[in-house]
Amino acid sequence: MAWGRHARAGRGRAPAALRAGVVTLASVMLLGAPGASARPEAAAAGAPEVVSRASGNAGAPEAFRAASGAPGASEGYAFTEGAQRIDGAGSTADAVRLEAGRTYRSTLPASGRIHYRLELDAGSDVHVSATAVPPGRGSAAVIDGVKVSVQDADGRSCDVDTATFGAAASPHPVAASAVREISPRKSLCQDAGTYYVTVERADPDGKGASPDAWQLELTIASEPRLERTEVTTAPEEWNSASPQPVTGEAQRRAGGVGFAEATPLDEGVWRDDIRPGRTLFYKVPVDWGQQFHATAELGSSSSDGTGFVPAALDLDLYNPVRGHVADVGIGYDGRQKSGSLPPLPHVAYANRHATGAQVGAMRFAGSYYLVAHLTAEVADDFGDGPVPLKLRVRVSGAAQDGPEYAGESVPADIFAVTAQDREAATRGRSTGDGTAMTALAVGGIGTGSALLVGLAVWTAAARRRTVSQDDPGIRPA
């Protein structure tokens, strides 16, 4: 069943530093090694719940987690590396400007609204998303969450979106996205000028809400106009029958801990483990003309616990601008359970003209995000150990040519599927990841062997450096 959590209106001796690096690598690998006495969670004890790769507090990289066989979740949420920190203003008069292609970090107070500013042209659609990251503890109000809206200089609403925690009542990252859209069907928000973004809690009265401030991640994307006008109505017919879930042996692929660290997937059956209270992120490239479908399965519990959690797993699908597409909730009683996203149309530019939000959200190609959250309540009945999770992902239909845009999107290629995207989905990691980290994740290399290789490399480098320092006439090999 779908929880209906979203409402829309309208990513010699080695030098001391060298020795320290070897020790750090060894410590991380030993802590994460299969069968190690220290659990990754214990090693992270006392760390802040909100994780930032930009500040260097992200913990072990994904390759280490994959090599160790540890669950895909880690403490907190991984914000986009290099995201600029800004403060939301209490008044639009003091609002800080947001620019397309940028990612920002901010803070959402427990009550009141905060504002940001946009300077827009008269030809581009601009999508603003707000991902709220509440403290990962305790319970949350069912109706609480995040609300984001875009307004013109006269306070008239261009769009508004709300994302709540829903029936699970478990605090976890949720995202809402609003757009300033250029459309012949609209009369407001069509001119160039100053616009404002307002972000607030979904429960404005704060009844039952967490008193703590939440962390925010803001992204802005610009979509150019078309070279020429295309159809202005949504496709009238599409295959709305639920496809058969993908079958076959499941492959292990650890989920990421934020949109920026979402693990790439392609069509297939994928296996991970998820702990109560944790949220895992995956991304799937879906091209123009393709149709997406996903089924989630919770495996049976190894504990002897009893009970029933009616809203145990929440699986959400977000589009490339983090706009909500669809969701499904799965109840859990310790036995295997499954649930599928509702049927969705092929990706098409004209879908934006649909009256239904789900069809309208399938309006562009790119990375679609699967976000799985296991409510903390599961631990009460079945313990805090990981629960097996399978994702059956299907991408059907041949990729088609996209629309002819009059310019470039910002960020570049956000509304396209590139060769790098396809390679990443096949390999299970984003292209550009460090080759050293990749080597550690290769199944044929044991953790101990990888450590020895790393030590040998560093030792050789240290010896070459020592020789070159003793005799400047000798160049390192």
Greater pLDDT, 466 or 156: 156
Q: Give the count of alpha carbons within 13 A of 182, CB side only.
A: 15
Per residue in 353-381, pLDDT tens? 998 999 999 999 999 999 999 999 999 99
Q: Are 201 and 110 in contact (CB under 8 A)?
A: yes
Q: For residue 207, give Cα distances in angstroms to 8, 353, 435, 445.
A: 22, 36, 49, 53
Burial 317-329 (b: 16+ CB within 10 A, else e): bbbbbbbbbbbbb
Greater pLDDT, 67 or 217: 217
Q: Is the dihedral of CA 395, 396, 400, 402 positive or negative?
A: negative
Question: What whole-number distance in Å separates Cα of residue 326 and Cα of residue 2?
Answer: 8
Q: Are 166 and 113 in contact (CB under 8 A)?
A: no
Beta bridge partners of 215: 107, 133
Question: What whole-number distance in Å separates Cα of residue 365 and Cα of residue 352?
Answer: 12
Look over the chain and give the mean of its residue pLDDT values, rounded to a whole number.
Answer: 80
Stated length of the chain: 477
* 410 DSSP assignment: B
Q: For residue 466, give Cα distances in angstroms to 16, 322, 453.
A: 13, 51, 20
Question: What percent of the chain stands above pLDDT 70?
Answer: 73
Among residues 428, 172, 388, 138, the alpha carbon closest in space to that of 274 is found at 388
Q: Give the count of alpha carbons within 13 A of 469, CB side only.
A: 10
pLDDT range class, residue 185, cuts 50, 70, 90: confident
Query: Minimum mean pLDDT among 123-127, 154-158, 181-185, 255-259: which range?
Result: 181-185
Per residue in 293-332, pLDDT tens? 999 999 998 877 789 999 999 999 999 999 999 999 999 9
The answer, as to whether pTM is greater than 0.75, is yes
Per residue in 23-63, pLDDT tens? 333 333 333 443 333 333 333 333 333 443 333 333 333 33
In the predicted structure, residue 11 carries a pLDDT above the cut 60: no
Per residue in 232-269, pLDDT tens? 788 877 888 888 889 999 999 999 999 999 999 999 99
In the predicted structure, residue 68 carries a pLDDT above the cut 60: no
Q: Is 158 helix (H, G, I), strand (E, B) or coil?
A: strand
Q: Are 222 and 120 in contact (CB under 8 A)?
A: no
Q: Give the count of alpha carbons within 13 A of 381, CB side only.
A: 16
% helix, strand, coil for the chain, step of 5 = 20, 30, 50
Residue 242 tokens read as 């639920």
Among residues 214, 172, 173, 239, the alpha carbon closest in space to that of 376 is found at 172
Q: Judging by beta carbons within 10 Å of its beta carbon (0-12, 13-18, 19+), is residue 201 exposed, middle or buried? A: buried
